[in-house]
Amino acid sequence: MIEKGAVMTPFSARNAGCAVLALAGLVTGCTSTPDAAPAAPASPFADCAPVTTQQISDAVHADSLTAHRTAQACFWEAQVGEGDAGISFTYSAQDSLQQLWDRARAGGFQTEHMVITKHALGTVTATAFYVRNPHDPGDCAVVAASNGAITWRVQNRSRTTALDPCAAALQLATLMVDLSP
């Protein structure tokens, strides 16, 4: 406390100024409402944009694509010649490849380990696996590690085209997996 008639030195004036600023900051900090933080996206792939519709069309040899989207997955209906195919993409930041492998096996699907490889400035790889429906040879998915786990599934529904669902799913997964050295 400053006594009446006391002379303030520069040092004590600075301390008094700091105290006033601290008090003002405390009062305004306690009475103001903080700005709302922007909501983080549900997943880095929530907008289904890492792969273009042209890249999807090329992978499945589609004449046309119709896109559908939910919070959990992206879907495309493809017209392939006289037939049709379904394409889906999902991303999980929480599930490991082992958990997805175990879930597929428990669901009665056949699984097969694979490695996605890129030869540029050395060899770069990503762990992945195929998921095949034993009751439907036109249904295949590729699950790969990519800052979480991505799954591309292709279903050749009409079988009137020579679409290889595993090759198409692998092509789409390879486009998304970060294989930069």
Domain ranges across the chain: 53-176
- Give the burial class of 43: count Cβ atoms within 10 A of its Cβ; 0-12 exposed, 13-18 middle, 19 or more buried: middle
The per-residue pLDDT for range 51-88, each reduced to its tens digit, is 888 999 999 999 999 998 887 889 999 998 888 999 99
What is the dihedral sign for C-alpha 128, 94, 178, 172? positive
The per-residue pLDDT for range 134-181, each reduced to its tens digit, is 999 999 999 998 888 999 999 998 876 678 999 999 999 988 876 554
Burial 158-179 (b: 16+ CB within 10 A, else e): eeebebbbbebbbbbbbebbeb
* Full-model pTM: 0.72
Topology of the domain covering 53-176: Protein Transport Mog1p; Chain A (3.40.1000)
What is the dihedral sign for C-alpha 54, 57, 62, 64? negative
70: CB partners within 8 A, 6+ apart: none
Q: Band of the pLDDT at 45, cuts 50, 70, 90?
A: low
pLDDT on residue 140: 97
The mean pLDDT value for 15-38 works out to 46
| CA–CA distances in Å: residue 30 to residues 18, 20, 38, 136 | 18, 15, 21, 63
Residue 4 pLDDT greater than 80, yes or no: no
Residue 95 DSSP code:
-
Q: What is the largest CA-CA distance in the chain?
A: 101
